[in-house]
């Protein structure tokens, strides 16, 4: 975190609350529903909740908000924990809303006993018809004035399985005339005969979000319950329930959710992409999930830096994907070792370098790192691969790379001069012939020759073959959610390009899974999880420059 920035509005509230002695210990929570993998939006909420207790002391709970048995899975619980830890945070307690089902049931009974809740047999349509509209008050359900005894009996029969799904619900008895639609006798319990990933078949009634969330906060003595702006209207109900139940007065605060351009963020939509096979899984490197970003080569530091830079606001907006890319580029610039890889190879033969001779050159790994990242050995010989685009038969103006008669420096090696080239019948260049200047070796150059261009290369005899996967934005429009029709209509058909025949330095042969490199002049790449020593696979994390901004704006 940068030290100089001013406090955000939540920090201001917390500082006031701690200074005034309202609370001694700050307690926050991160409450994901285990119905999918976490995404970059969740990262913002994680950085905020855990960041606050890192800054002000106290602690943060991880609470799985698992009140919907149908969509929740243990696989998601495990992946969510892994992602939070990977981001660099540690929760104090691992908790589950389902652990509170007994307490929540008792709370509902308390409300019934206070004549503040009732069992309603109306159908969903009937309930909707009586609910009114934002401009017209609602009216009472015929079941609203049941006796407390009758409600207690019915609710206990709901619990013991006496009713089918949807036969009745429990509603809070608040105010059908309220200007806040959520206060018009909201549903707090529903019947669902479904197996729960933790409580099995113990329950066939499940609390609604509004009845579970605030009460769970209160059970855990959460002081500041931070959520996104959609819940502003829920705050009145949040406070009402806590007040009527006379439990710990947790308080809810809302901030603007993160929206990122060229992607979608709801777990439901991401699940569709997975199920429809549009992507290879939740951790596809094109996904905005934390696992996808990790596989793409993002570092926890870069994601935390991104969350810090976007800050905490009270108004919705869309953050440019290029800012996220900027953050990873900055971090990798300082930490990733430089190596050479040729993605679109063409042969370069050095005609005056002895055939069969090998030479070992030394390359500095990272001129931007404090310790320069150490050095590595790079084999050199008379046959190299270079990038096809580094040669032009008829050079343009200001062309400083290879062309007939032109000179360039081979990175970490010698200056070469193009003497000749070969073409196949279709006119494609197949081979470039150069001479080299023996006195021009990098680091001990006495040739006195100045060249403007430096190109990368790999010795063909020593090179290893690698598959390279290059990714682009998943969608062609800035906010697929806001467009007409299905969001999937706006998928980018070219979001993945696979290069089967790239050549890399032998140094990379044993690169660790997840390790990250700068392929000189090409961008930042990481080893994919499917990579093996015999079948190397690299993912492009991000290019060296923001190419998109130039061509598309
Ligand atoms: P989704 O629609 O992606 O499933 P959600 O809000 O239903 O999102 P939860 O698992 O309930 O997902 O969210 C856990 C926490 O993460 C909540 O506190 C929520 O406010 C926060 N969160 C979710 N999405 C974002 C986002 N885009 N930006 C910031 N916080 C978010
Ligand atoms: Mg949710």
pLDDT exceeds cutoff 70 at 309: yes
Displacement of CA 340 from its chain's centroid (Å): 29
Which tens digit of pLDDT belongs to each residue from 483-531? 999 999 999 999 999 999 999 999 999 898 889 999 999 999 999 999 9
Domain C-terminal end among 433, 456, 479: 456
Residue 522: give the domain boundaries: 267-337+466-551
Same domain for 329 and 362: no
Mean pLDDT of all residues in the chain? 95
Q: What is the mean pLDDT of residues 66-95?
A: 94
Domain C-terminal end among 257, 282, 302: 257
Same domain for 121 and 28: yes
Task: Work out whether the CA dihedral 411, 412, 416, 421 comes out positive or negative.
Answer: negative
Q: What is the mean pLDDT of residues 427-442?
A: 97
**Ligand 1 lined by 29 (C-beta under 6 Å):** no
Where in the sequence numbering do the catalytic residues fall?
A: 33, 257, 267
Strand partners, 289: 39
Which tens digit of pLDDT belongs to each residue from 453-467? 999 999 999 999 999
Domain C-terminal end among 456, 488, 521: 456
pLDDT of residue 510: 87
**Ligand 1 lined by 228 (C-beta under 6 Å):** yes
Q: What is the mean pLDDT of residues 227-233?
A: 97
Residue showing tokens 């389902």: 98
Q: What percent of the chain has pLDDT over 90?
A: 93
Domain count, the chain: 3
Instruction: Return d(Cα 322, Cα 329) in angstroms, integer.
Output: 10
Q: Could you list the residues known to form a binding site for ATP, using ranges.
A: 33-35, 39-45, 228, 257-258, 265-267
Same domain for 141 and 31: yes
Same domain for 472 and 449: no
Nearest atom within ligand 1 for CA of residue 49: 18
Considering only CA atoms, which of 346, 332, 319 is closest in space to residue 418? 346
**Ligand 1 lined by 455 (C-beta under 6 Å):** no
**Ligand 1 lined by 44 (C-beta under 6 Å):** yes
pLDDT exceeds cutoff 50 at 363: yes
Same domain for 284 and 170: no
CA distances from 12 to 312, 343, 489 (A): 12, 51, 43
pLDDT exceeds cutoff 50 at 404: yes
pLDDT exceeds cutoff 50 at 388: yes
Q: Which one of the ligands is nearest to 289 CA? A: 1
pLDDT of residue 1: 47
pLDDT exceeds cutoff 80 at 549: no
Instruction: Return d(Cα 359, Cα 228) in angstroms, integer.
Output: 60
User: 489 in a domain, yes or no?
Assistant: yes
Query: How far does residue 33's CA lie from ligand 1's centre (Å)?
Result: 8
Same domain for 149 and 133: yes
Sheet holding 383-387, edge to edge: 454-455, 407-410, 415-423, 429-436, 345-350, 383-387, 457-459
pTM: 0.94
Q: Residue 514: left (phi > 0), alpha (psi -120 to 50), or beta? A: left
pLDDT of residue 422: 97
Is residue 373 very low, low, confident or very high in pLDDT (cuts 50, 70, 90)? Answer: confident
Same domain for 288 and 192: no
Q: Which residues contact 212 (CB under 8 A, 6 or more apart)?
A: 65, 67, 97, 100, 104
User: 262 in a domain, yes or no?
Assistant: no
Q: How do the residues of the chain divide into helix, strand and coil, expressed in percent and rounded to 5? A: 30, 25, 45
Which tens digit of pLDDT belongs to each residue from 1-29? 445 789 999 999 999 999 999 999 999 99
pLDDT of residue 72: 79
Same domain for 208 and 302: no
Q: Which one of the ligands is nearest to 266 CA? A: 1
pLDDT exceeds cutoff 80 at 323: yes
Which tens digit of pLDDT belongs to each residue from 209-219? 999 999 999 99
């Amino acid at each position: 975190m940068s030290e100089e920035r001013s406090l955000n509005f939540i920090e201001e509230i917390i500082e006031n609350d701690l200074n005034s002695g309202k609370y001694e210990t700050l307690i926050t929570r991160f409450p994901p529903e285990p119905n999918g993998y976490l995404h970059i939006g969740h990262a913002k909420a994680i950085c905020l909740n855990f960041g606050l207790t890192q800054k002000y002391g106290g602690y943060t709970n991880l609470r799985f908000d698992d009140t919907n048995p149908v969509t929740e899975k243990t696989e998601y619980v495990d992946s969510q924990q892994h992602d939070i830890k990977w981001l660099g945070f540690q929760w104090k307690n691992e908790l589950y809303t389902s652990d509170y089902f007994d307490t929540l049931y008792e709370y509902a009974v308390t409300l019934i006993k206070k004549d503040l809740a009732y069992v309603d047999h109306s159908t969903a349509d009937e309930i909707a018809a009586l609910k009114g509209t934002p401009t017209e008050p609602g009216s009472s359900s015929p079941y609203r004035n049941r006796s407390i005894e009758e409600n207690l009996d019915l609710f206990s029969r709901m619990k013991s399985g006496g009713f089918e799904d949807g036969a009745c619900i429990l509603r809070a008895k608040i105010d059908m005339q309220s200007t806040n639609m959520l206060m018009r006798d909201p549903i707090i319990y529903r019947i669902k005969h479904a197996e729960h990933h933790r409580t099995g078949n113990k329950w066939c009634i499940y609390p609604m979000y509004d009845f579970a969330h605030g009460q769970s906060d209160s059970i855990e003595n959460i002081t500041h319950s931070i959520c996104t702006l959609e819940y502003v209207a829920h705050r009145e109900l949040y406070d009402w329930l806590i007040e009527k139940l006379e439990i710990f007065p947790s308080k809810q605060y809302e901030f603007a959710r993160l929206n990122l351009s060229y992607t979608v963020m709801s777990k439901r939509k991401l699940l569709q992409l997975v199920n429809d096979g549009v992507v290879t899984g939740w951790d596809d490197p094109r996904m905005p999930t934390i696992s996808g970003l990790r596989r793409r080569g993002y570092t926890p530091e870069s994601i935390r830096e991104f969350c810090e830079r976007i800050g905490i606001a009270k108004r919705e907006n869309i953050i440019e994907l290029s800012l996220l890319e900027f953050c990873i580029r900055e971090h990798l610039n300082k930490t990733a070792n430089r190596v050479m890889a040729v993605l679109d190879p063409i042969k370069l033969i050095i005609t005056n370098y002895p055939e069969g001779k090998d030479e070992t050159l030394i390359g500095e790994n990272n001129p931007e790192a404090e310790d320069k990242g150490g050095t590595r050995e790079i084999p050199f010989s008379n046959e190299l691969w270079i990038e096809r685009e580094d040669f032009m038969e008829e050079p343009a103006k200001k062309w400083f790379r290879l062309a007939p008669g032109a000179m360039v420096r081979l990175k970490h090696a010698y200056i070469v001069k193009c003497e000749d080239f070969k073409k196949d019948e279709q006119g494609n260049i197949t081979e470039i012939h150069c001479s080299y200047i023996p006195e021009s070796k990098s680091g001990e150059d006495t040739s006195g020759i100045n060249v403007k261009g430096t190109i990368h290369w790999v010795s063909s005899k020593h090179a290893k073959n690698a598959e390279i996967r290059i990714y682009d934005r998943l969608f062609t429009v800035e906010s697929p959610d806001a467009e007409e029709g299905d969001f999937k209509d706006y998928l980018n058909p070219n979001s993945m390009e696979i290069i089967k025949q790239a050549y890399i330095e032998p140094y990379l042969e044993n690169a660790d899974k997840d390790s990250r490199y700068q392929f000189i002049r090409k961008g930042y790449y990481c080893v994919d999880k499917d990579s093996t020593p015999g079948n190397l696979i690299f993912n492009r994390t991000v290019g060296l420059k923001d190419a998109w901004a130039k061509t598309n704006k």
